[in-house]
């Protein structure tokens, strides 16, 4: 009789244990979201860049473009990058506000999965994943959005949502 009760208690404790894979996934999500969320929050206090800061930033970005591409392609990429940075700077508060809301939603979703093991955190993460792509189109004109940016966001979101979906069975309603 005692042995049966012990097994039942052990089974309940096993059910409450968070799988290591889900824990690692949540920690990676916290890191990724934090890398974007923290600068966005602090950026609100510093405000948009001045023209000088914008030019300095552009000079730093231009040094990152590889020399292996043609001069025409390099010029096109640099022009696109400068225009994109300028628009983002002009819409600084809109950009920061949208990023803070979207990434806070993602953070809250991951928190609910990590701390409370709630399935609603998974659904919040799904919404966050979609909004992170849509937010690009709320801030930038379509001509300034590189398909590579959209595809990388979709790929990253798809991988993470897929991995969280695998772990959905470990979350409660």
Q: Which of 122, 116, 110 is nearest to 24 (CA)?
A: 110
The upper half-sphere exposure of residue 121, i.e. CA atoms within 13 Å in the direction of its Cβ, equals 22
Q: Is the pTM of this model over 0.85?
A: no
* Helix boundaries (H) for the chain: 2-16, 20-46, 51-62, 71-90, 92-115, 119-139, 147-166
| DSSP secondary structure code for residue 1 in this structure | -
The 10s digit of each residue's pLDDT in 73-84 is 878 878 888 888
Higher pLDDT, 9 or 115: 115
The 10s digit of each residue's pLDDT in 119-151 is 999 999 999 999 999 998 998 999 888 888 899
For residue 13, name the pLDDT band (cuts at 50, 70, 90): very low
The total of other beta-carbon atoms located within 10 Å of residue 32's CB is: 16
| DSSP secondary structure code for residue 146 in this structure | -
The whole-number average pLDDT for the span 104-108 is 96
Please report the pLDDT score of residue 114 as a whole number.
93
Length of the chain: 173
User: Inter-axis angle of helices 119-139 and 147-166, to 10 degrees?
Assistant: 180
Instruction: Judge contact between 171 and 121, C-beta under 8 A.
Output: yes
The 10s digit of each residue's pLDDT in 39-58 is 999 988 888 888 888 888 87
The whole-number average pLDDT for the span 69-73 is 82
pLDDT over 80 (residue 3): no
Give, rounded to a whole angstrom, the gap between the first and last alpha carbons of the chain.
32
The whole-number average pLDDT for the span 1-13 is 54
């Amino acid at each position: 009789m005692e042995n049966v009760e012990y097994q039942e208690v052990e089974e309940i404790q096993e059910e409450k244990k968070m799988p290591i894979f889900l824990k690692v996934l949540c920690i990676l999500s916290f890191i990724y979201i934090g890398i974007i969320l923290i600068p966005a929050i602090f950026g609100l206090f510093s405000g948009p860049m001045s023209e000088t800061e914008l030019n300095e930033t552009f000079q730093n970005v231009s040094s990152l473009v590889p020399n292996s591409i043609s001069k025409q392609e390099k010029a096109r990429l640099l022009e696109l990058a400068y225009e994109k940075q300028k628009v983002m700077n002009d819409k600084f508060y809109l950009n920061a506000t949208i990023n803070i809301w979207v990434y806070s939603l993602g953070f809250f979703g991951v928190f609910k999965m990590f701390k409370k093991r709630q399935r609603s955190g998974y659904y919040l993460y799904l919404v966050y994943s979609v909004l992170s792509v849509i937010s690009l189109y709320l801030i930038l004109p379509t001509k300034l959005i590189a398909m590579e940016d959209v595809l990388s966001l979709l790929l990253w979101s798809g991988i993470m949502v897929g991995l969280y979906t695998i772990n959905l069975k470990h979350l409660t309603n």
